[in-house]
Amino acid sequence: MGRVRGGRVLEKAISYNFPMQTTFTLSAPLSLATKSAKPFMKWVGGKGQLIGKLANLFPPEMKAGKIKKYVEPFIGGGALFFYIAQAYPSIEKFFISDVNEELILAYRTIKRDVESLISSLVILETKYHALSRDKQKDFFYQKRIEFNTKLTTIDFNKFQDNWIERTVAIILEPAHEAT
């Protein structure tokens, strides 16, 4: 955090050696979207139910549109990030982080190639729903085994096609647990 002088926080450049971070610059404010952006998955310990209380704690500069950068240190499912990105269009740059490198991989995949990810999810959903309830469980457990065995083939620093498959599996895990 920056130093406080005369009631203002002075920005201080801090360099983190933290590979599990990504930066988003929105080309258009999410507030202009035709539909509300929502988290793509539920996250244990998520801030979604606390947004009303947290919003009351935001600094007046944020409400006045003077803050141009937002840092989310624990992105999780992204409920607070999506809320802020839509409610405060004056914020131009977002930095999201999490200690879970798989989660950051998912956000980077969405940023890089969301169309391929959606196509892969639709294919998987079609295959899954064509199965009986018992076969669905077997399908899920097979995907979980594949997920665990393919971890060593992931380069978390360089986008590759296997990021899409990995992100599909990351999204699949909590979706199946909820059923």
Residue 31 has pLDDT above 90, yes or no: no
Same domain, 72 and 154: no
Residue 16 has pLDDT above 50, yes or no: no
Give the end of a domain, one of 97, 127, 152.
97
Q: Which pLDDT band, with edges at 50, 70 and 90, does 38 fall under?
A: confident
Domain assignment of residue 37, given as a range = 4-97
Residue 140 has pLDDT above 90, yes or no: no
Tell me: the pLDDT tens digits for 119-135? 999 999 999 999 999 99
Same domain, 45 and 71: yes
Tell me: the pLDDT tens digits for 52-67? 999 999 999 999 999 9
Q: Which pLDDT band, with edges at 50, 70 and 90, does 20 fall under?
A: low
Both tokens of 146, joined, read: 């594949």
Same domain, 59 and 89: yes
Same domain, 117 and 33: no
Compute CA distances 106 → 17, 89, 95, 145, 151, whole Å: 20, 24, 15, 19, 14
Number of domains forming the structure of the chain: 2
Tell me: the pLDDT tens digits for 93-116? 888 888 888 888 999 999 899 999
Round to the nearest angstrom and report the end-to-end CA distance of the chain.
42
Q: Look at 5-19, 34-48, 96-110 and tell me which has the smallest mean pLDDT.
A: 5-19
Average pLDDT on 147-168 reads 86
The Cα 92–Cα 104 span in angstroms is 20
pLDDT for res 167: 92
Q: Which pLDDT band, with edges at 50, 70 and 90, does 23 fall under?
A: low
Average pLDDT on 160-174 reads 86
Longest CA–CA separation in the chain, Å: 66
Average pLDDT on 141-149 reads 86
Same domain, 16 and 66: yes
Q: Comparing 12 with 20, which gets the higher pLDDT?
A: 20
What percent of the chain lies above the pLDDT cut of 90?
A: 34
Give the end of a domain, one of 97, 130, 157.
97
Nearest to 165 by CA among 147, 149, 177: 147
